[in-house]
Amino acid sequence: MGAFVRAVATFYADGVRAAPRALGRPGTPLARSRPARFVGADAGRAGASLDACSRAVLNNVSTSSPGIHGILAAMAIIAVFNQKGGVGKTTTALNLLAGIAQRGSRPVGIDLDPQGHLSHVFGTQPRAADDTVYGFFARQRPLADIARVSRSGVVICPAHMELAKLDAMLGKGFNVVTRLRHALRAPDAVGGPVVIDCCPLLNVLSLNAVFACDLIVVPVSADYLAVQGAKEVERALNALEPVFKQRLPRRYVITRFDMRRKMSAEVVAEMARSFRPEEICITRIRENVKLAESPAEGLDVFRHAPDSRGARDYESLLDELVGAGFLR
């Protein structure tokens, strides 16, 4: 049994087992937030934690549009997770957010990775830890207080390196690992759709994402170690099924796929043997230079190279998730 599964079992034994009554179905939509426009004093309170770009966007919200507390009452909460690094986790979170935004919604990204790569690409890295997701967990700050509107209009709850200290600070138990879930399902929650870029390690952060989400997307790059990481995720999710009393919705998506490489074909075959066929995405994210270089430019692939294979592949992935009912 891998470290991930052992750690899940530890949380489970320390109080998660008593939790089923507190959890709705993983697919239960968020309560629709009441539309709110920030004007007058409310604008001051909301804008206090936002940079100039954020305030400018909020000031242009019409009276019939939701403000940052009510932007797009969530249609889905998607957690992007694999404990193996370099599989395209942040790239997938980035381009899911960008693709959803291109379709006319304003999604919310939650960066739970202490490295903060998603926050960096969106240009939403504040200096103070309390102005990030760290402040939500360590200081009980509302998510709406730490949210930033990025240059592209995507709302981001940014990360900070201090997130790495949360395990030692918060301990373990059901109330700890469901904190994000309760926040995202509160009547005044930051709206959605929500995409969570998970920490690549098993810790309080990744378990919060698992307990909060409606769907787990597991990127699996076309190499042997990435498949092994995905198998660890599969075992851990299966270990949590008694808590949710049903199978946790998940989709495995192959990234960095190159049909010219023998390894890619071997990965496809191994995944077919290891996972349920309906949980493996038909879409494969192909190896693509434009896709790889877009984060270095501070851009998603749709803005960097809209006609590239990377953009087409992530557009197809979104179509697949919509077709499966995870997004509208």
State the pLDDT confidence band at 214, using cuts at 50, 70 and 90.
Answer: very high
Element (H, E) at 45: helix 40-47
Q: Which residues contact 147 (CB under 8 A, 6 or more apart)?
A: 49, 50, 54, 68, 108, 155, 156, 157, 190
Residue 258 resides in a domain: yes
Domain that holds residue 303: 3-323
C-alpha torsion angle, residues 316, 101, 126, 178 (rounded to 10): -70
Compute the average pLDDT of residues 303-324. Answer: 96
154-170: per-residue pLDDT in tens? 999 999 999 999 999 99
Strand 155-157 and strand 108-111: the pairing is: parallel
Residue 328 resides in a domain: no
Provide the 10 A C-beta neighbour count for residue 84: 20
pTM above 0.85, yes or no: no
Residue 187 resides in a domain: yes
**Which CATH number goes with the domain that contains 226?**
3.40.50.300
What is d(CA 111, CA 94) in angstroms, rounded to the nearest whole number?
10
Bond before 193 cis per omega within 30 degrees: yes
210 close to 79: Cβ distance less than 8 angstroms:
yes
Residue 28 resides in a domain: yes
State the pLDDT confidence band at 10, using cuts at 50, 70 and 90.
Answer: low
11-59: per-residue pLDDT in tens? 544 544 444 444 544 333 333 333 333 233 333 333 333 333 333 333 3
Count: domains in the chain: 1
Higher pLDDT, 283 or 153: 283
**What distances in angstroms separate CA 277 from CA 1, 216, 267, 269, one per listed residue?**
24, 16, 14, 11
252-297: per-residue pLDDT in tens? 999 999 999 999 999 999 999 999 999 999 999 999 999 999 999 9
Q: Residue 125 has what pLDDT?
A: 82
Q: Residue 16 has what pLDDT?
A: 47
Adjacent-strand bridge partners of 216: 79, 250
